[in-house]
A and B are shown apart, each in its own frame.
Chain A
């Protein structure tokens, strides 16, 4: 009897397993979690959650099966938001000419060049862009002018430079233009000449503490050297003279270097201010409306 029950139980469990597995298989086939539809929904979710790296994976997997310019745009935008501007540029390039997103893609390519600080290439691309002949050419010219403020390019006359911008922006842009034409740099030569009086060159370069220290050190060793020469103590006199010469020559050299560093700081702050101003205005280019913020 027991044996009969055991055999029955075994047969029943095998039958139950077969039924359960077959149902499970049928279910997974119906709703494949890796279907394009699911991947797309998940990719969009990841994109909106700022998980761009994984969003790119999902979008790319969908793109393998069927071409979709919106997805290609989103992949490029994901790279842009990850600050990988060169990769984003390459991805925007893949948008076809007949695509409805091609114009926006062209804008985005230029935006990527601006963000990656490749200003000379940006200026060349704007000049040969097809969009320059369209009605929206002023977007491109505004961006090109802005990039000229950040590069060593020769600026056009002020009136032709400013007329492109909105009234609200004109005063600030004019300020940048004037700065670029006459930057408030200090002269390294002037600093070197001023350093004839120890420390004065450093004070000119706004390093007042260093200037006074330099004056004290040079003055102290010069006084000691003179004092020792007067007392006919030749060896210590020459030693102090060497120290005085060491600090004096270092003061002249340091004044020139200090002015150069001061000028580098001025340039850095100016560039930063322009970048903040332009980025606040989305590089003067239209932005796509169909993407999550």
Chain B
């Protein structure tokens, strides 16, 4: 009788025991900072020189110089996105404007919203010269 009760007891414990220990198992942490997506000029028909220049810039200057652009997306990404979104002429004009704003000698950049990466958020959609694409973000909130 005693043995039967013990068997039933252990069987019940075995069947109803919590099996969520899996949640607490060791997990390997990854402390690497996520890198921005690298943009490439997609439509390279006739833009092979631009693609070459962009990739040369990434390889020879940007990778060595580090992450110094105060904007998100960075100036080189902005240029690539502009060309992909519009055309080579408009993309270059947008980049010329962005480069001037980046070179602002007074560093007066209070009118840009903050991005979650800590940089200033300045997407290409606000410079396509179409009112419908402009998204104004509150300066008090961080853009995700």
B-binding residues in A (CB < 8 A): 10, 206-210, 212-214, 216-217, 246-247, 249-251, 253-254, 256-257, 260-261, 263-265, 267-268, 272
B22 sits at the interface (CB 8 A): no
A198 CA / B103 CA spacing, docked (Å):
15
Report, nearest first, the 9 A-B pairs whose CB atoms are least far apart: A250-B96, A254-B97, A209-B108, A209-B106, A268-B136, A253-B93, A264-B136, A257-B127, A250-B97
Number of B residues with CB within 8 Å of any CB on chain A: 25
A160 CA / B65 CA spacing, docked (Å):
64
**Min CB distance, A199 to chain B, in Å?**
9
Please indicate the chain B residues that have their CB under 8 angstroms from the CB of A214 in the complex: 100
> Which residue from chain B places its CB closest to the CB of A269 in the assembled complex?
B136
**Min CB distance, A249 to chain B, in Å?**
6
> Which residue from chain B places its CB closest to the CB of A250 in the assembled complex?
B96
A-binding residues in B (CB < 8 A): 1, 92-97, 99-101, 103-108, 111, 126-127, 129, 131, 134-136, 138
> Which residue from chain B places its CB closest to the CB of A257 in the assembled complex?
B127
**Min CB distance, B86 to chain A, in Å?**
11
**Min CB distance, B12 to chain A, in Å?**
15
Picked from B106, B129, B136, the residue with its CB within 8 Å of the CB of A213 is B106
Contact A213 B104 (CB under 8 A): yes
A251 CA / B104 CA spacing, docked (Å):
13
Contact B136 A212 (CB under 8 A): no
Picked from A217, A246, A249, A260, the residue with its CB within 8 Å of the CB of B103 is A217
Contact A251 B97 (CB under 8 A): yes
Picked from B107, B111, B129, B135, the residue with its CB within 8 Å of the CB of A257 is B129
A155 CA / B106 CA spacing, docked (Å):
43
Contact A213 B103 (CB under 8 A): yes
Picked from B96, B111, B131, the residue with its CB within 8 Å of the CB of A207 is B111
A143 CA / B94 CA spacing, docked (Å):
42
Contact B103 A261 (CB under 8 A): no
**A217-B100, A254-B100 known; A261 vs B105 contact (CB < 8 Å):** no
**Min CB distance, B135 to chain A, in Å?**
8
**A253-B94, A257-B126, A261-B126 known; A210 vs B100 contact (CB < 8 Å):** yes
Contact A257 B105 (CB under 8 A): no
Contact A210 B104 (CB under 8 A): yes
**Min CB distance, A235 to chain B, in Å?**
18
Please indicate the chain A residues that have their CB under 8 angstroms from the CB of B106 in the complex: 208-209, 212-213
Contact B104 A249 (CB under 8 A): no
Please indicate the chain A residues that have their CB under 8 angstroms from the CB of B105 in the complex: 209, 212-213, 216
A254 CA / B99 CA spacing, docked (Å):
10
> Which residue from chain B places its CB closest to the CB of A252 in the assembled complex?
B93
| 11 additional A-B residue pairs with CB within 8 Å, beyond A208-B106, A247-B99, A260-B134 | A10-B1, A208-B108, A209-B104, A209-B107, A212-B105, A250-B100, A254-B97, A257-B94, A260-B131, A261-B126, A263-B131
**A210-B100, A250-B99, A251-B97 known; A260 vs B129 contact (CB < 8 Å):** yes
